[in-house]
Structure 1
């Protein structure tokens, strides 16, 4: 009976999103929870960052606006903050995108230009053609002049616009199996078609541009209803646009059936020259060991198909809210608590790698790094990242986290060192105990990771509040710990290719001048 009541209480918490939490014997922990529950700022911060400022592509005015906004927020909270230049980037600003099919009928198309796509001074109307099936690269070179003045479709025509879970729910087993076989065959045939051109997905648009194409049209479907991945353009003079699966399929089928569709495209953007790239840094100075650090970590930049809400707006919200709460209830930490909002993570962890490289004296004195960058979900996994004794101190810090939050977190110790994926890896490579606070999925990979649907409405605020509580408590416990964390490394597993133990990752070099070639 007692176990059933406990389970019901936990279920009630999960369903309501509220925390009915027993009092801790740590007053600061109780105050962290109270402040997070009764005075949460995450919705307000999310609106200002995602809706007002918008996406934060490196090199854009919005990225600089976000840097300045964060400094102003921290300053308002009484927290010392600054921007710290780490490099330079090609300055660019998105403008409007408008695409219409004008023949054989009229239809406005759903789509947008890719990041860094060049400005079009006026709308261009032209026929649409498809990359052909050719025997080899020589045959493709003979065909290439035919692209002059035309828009070229460069993505595979998807045989179904329904995600797999929809097929699995409604299709007969035979129909589902048939669809999968057809899709596999279709994919293999398209990959062969591209290989035979002699180009890659990255170099093909450049070849089309040199041959005089009017523009490049793609559809990077994300395997869910209404979602496409939106990355950067490789063209410098002609537009590269991404359009929805539905509209791309329409154009592809009309072209394939000989109807010679025409589209009108007008995209606007602004080149901003060479602009500085920044990290935003804020800190609450330690009173007893100010030269030792706990770092809260989240990348600030995003791709700009949506507004970067879950990648990584929610990580940003988590760290900002944790810092706000700590300043209010724990204003005099023993160690310095620093937050890093990194730039250009999406292009290769550049901001955090530069920070590690630029602050060599700080690296030996970092107690722990807590990084969040896996979407809006509540944290459900923490790995030891290969640090042999991480189980001892991380496990001890977790004991003060409220049971409804702690019970959902699986830990794996010692784990293996992360080599990429997010900014914690920049610190792990330098031998710093840095931990990824990995989140519940919430269909992140399909629906919000780098997509046109990564927007405010996808944020699960109860989970973000939970993550802010977790982060603030971990930072408090790491600050109060009488001992400095062990950096002893575990013996890594055998690399099956070499037969020798895997090697610890080495620090990567940041790209400090990006998009300028």
Structure 2
């Protein structure tokens, strides 16, 4: 019966649409097993329910590592921890209390790398969009700055880290960022990609309470608040998880996904989805097609949410090794196509692959559009070809990004199966085509690519630009 179901699934998703020299039989086996034998959903349930939110350095993060290694070893994969040091951050019992014109404790979430400060009381002021020229023009000295979710009338929207620096330079005491999503949600995030402590506390607060504070200011009620910051920065030792399937050559393709998450919810979608799909792809290839030309290295990166620390540290350790390509899985949903991420020489390969996987309804086909702030970035910055899927997430899967609602109940097992099937097929094809243009780009070519997609500006603003 199980075999019959597998055959039916492969007929539906393969549709008989194969051409070229693709390995049709292997495709069918990978696709069928991704649905019938998939283990990623129950493993992700264990990680979400038994460990929970996985902020790097926390007990929950350590528990998740134990579960992942245990489950990978059950599959016959020799998984190991690869330790590294990084600037850590611990969330404390932070408090924001409205004292005037009435009393209330507000819901708040400190940004990563906000450091412990003595309690203080200060008046509130509207910082509008938080642009430098605005904060320079109003009196924020000794005050708490409220940043509503409004777009600038002109110019660019500043990053939260930029707003905090602008406010601190003008003598502000703290910054409150009002979430743009309704429903009592706060949005976690990091102040810095380099790990330095924020100069003043920065918090996310709910849309509803933020709008209330804004109305009080607009009606001249002059709110006063008391802030107690107990979160703190501290050096930590943590680890990535690495499992390797040796190939005929030492040149390797790295497949990666971060398994850490913010601590509010359970990290079901960000990045439970990606880390579970990576586990399933490892299972599929290990069990069905373990003999490949390239070595395949599966890496569950840690510390992504605080600044891509796991992938940065991986590249510090392994960057001089022969890495042919990197495939990233971050918040991966139902596949709609392939993204060559600016490495345009691979577009013909992905276009042909997409055409031959029409049963998966890959409506986007193949594109080449680079972006930042996920674990492919340290590889891309070194000129290593990086790829990912284009994918669809349901409304509720994306709505709770970095908030309490990112829980296991949002995860869809069919999306995990579809993504694992497509990625395993893609990886087997990549891993056995040494004739593909796996050449590493030089620094000048990387610079041109990043500028082509206007990524130099955001990288400079994040202090991540190292090319000029």
Q: Identify whether the pair has TM-score above 0.5, normalized to the shorter chain.
A: yes
Matched, 1:329 2:291: no
Q: Aligned to 2:76, what secondary structure does the other structure show?
A: coil
SS in 1 for 2:91: strand
Q: Provide Cα deviations, 1:344-382, integer angstroms capped at 9, x if missing partner.
A: 444554433443343245335x2x432222x34212232
Identify the match of residue 360 of structure 2 among 394, 402, 405.
405
Shift of 1:450: 3.7
In structure 2, distance between residues paired with 1:409 and 1:267: 46
How many Å separate the matches in 2 of 1:72 and 1:307?
Answer: 19
2:214 to 246, 252, 256: 252
Picking from 324, 328, 340, the partner of 1:371 is 328
How many angstroms apart in 2 are the aligned matches of 1:477 and 1:62? Answer: 36
Give me the whole-angstrom Cα distance separating, in 1, the residues matched to 2:10 and 2:185: 31
The aligned counterpart of 2:205 is 243
Alpha-carbon separation, structure 1, partners of 2:375 and 2:198: 30
- Give the greater-gyration-radius structure (CA): 1
- In the alignment, what sits opposite 2:72? 74
Mapped pair 1:281 → 2:245: no
2:437 corresponds to which residue?
Answer: 486
Structure 1 residues 330 and 380, CA gap change in structure 2 (3 angstroms): same
Q: Deviations over 1:143-174 (max 9, x none)?
A: 725x4xxxx24313x5xxxxxxxxxxxxxxxx
Alignment of 1:14-93 (within 5 A): 20-21=12-13, 26-86=24-84, 88-93=85-90
1:386: Cα distance to partner?
A: 4.7
Deviations 1:304-345 (A, max 9, x none): 454433332211111111112322333444542211222344
Equivalent residues in 2 for 1:64-463, closer than 5 Å: 64-86=62-84, 88-97=85-94, 99-101=96-98, 103-119=100-116, 126=121, 128-131=123-126, 144-145=141-142, 147=143, 152-156=144-148, 187-188=152-153, 201-204=163-166, 206=168, 213=173, 216-223=174-181, 225-232=183-190, 240-261=202-223, 263=225, 268-269=230-231, 273-286=234-247, 289-346=248-305, 349-363=308-322, 366=324, 368-373=325-330, 375-387=331-343, 389-395=345-351, 397-398=353-354, 401=357, 403-405=358-360, 407-412=362-367, 415=368, 418=370, 420-443=372-395, 447-463=399-415
Counterparts in 2 of 1:253 and 1:382: CA distance versus 1, 3 Å: same
Contact between 1:56 and 1:66, CA under 8 Å: does it hold in 2?
yes
Q: Deviations over 1:450-495 (max 9, x none)?
A: 44543333333322221011111222233344x44223699xxx9x
Once residues 283 and 90 of structure 1 are traced to their aligned partners in structure 2, the CA distance between those partners, rounded to angstroms, is 28
CA distance in 1, matches of 2:338, 2:366: 5
CA spacing shift, 1:283–1:127, aligned 2, 3 Å: same
Write the distance in 1 (CA, Å) between the matches of 2:168 and 2:55. Answer: 22
The CA deviation at 1:91 is 2.9
- Total equivalences in the alignment: 429
- Cα pair distance change 1:267/1:42, threshold 3 Å: farther
Unaligned runs of 5+ residues in structure 2 are: 1-8, 17-22, 463-468
Contact 1:284 1:338 in 2 (8 A): yes
Q: What's the counterpart of residue 464 of structure 1?
A: 416
Helix, strand or coil at the partner of 2:360: helix
Cα pair 2:183 2:207 within 8 Å, conserved: no
Tell me the alpha carbon deviations over residues 242-263 of structure 1, each in whole angstroms, 9 at most, x when there is no partner: 2211112212323443445455
Contact 2:13 2:360 in 1 (8 A): no
Return the alpha-carbon distance in structure 2 between the equivalents of residues 505 and 118 of structure 1: 29
Counterpart mapping for 1:3-18 below 5 A: none
Residue-by-residue CA offset, 1:60-111 (whole Å, 9 max, x unaligned):
444444344333322222111222234x323332244555545544545333
Tell me what 2:3 maps to: none
In structure 2, relative to structure 1, the CA distance for the partners of 1:268 and 1:484 (3 Å cut) is: same
TM-score by length of 2: 0.73
- Alignment partner of 1:437: what SS? strand
TM-score by length of 1: 0.67
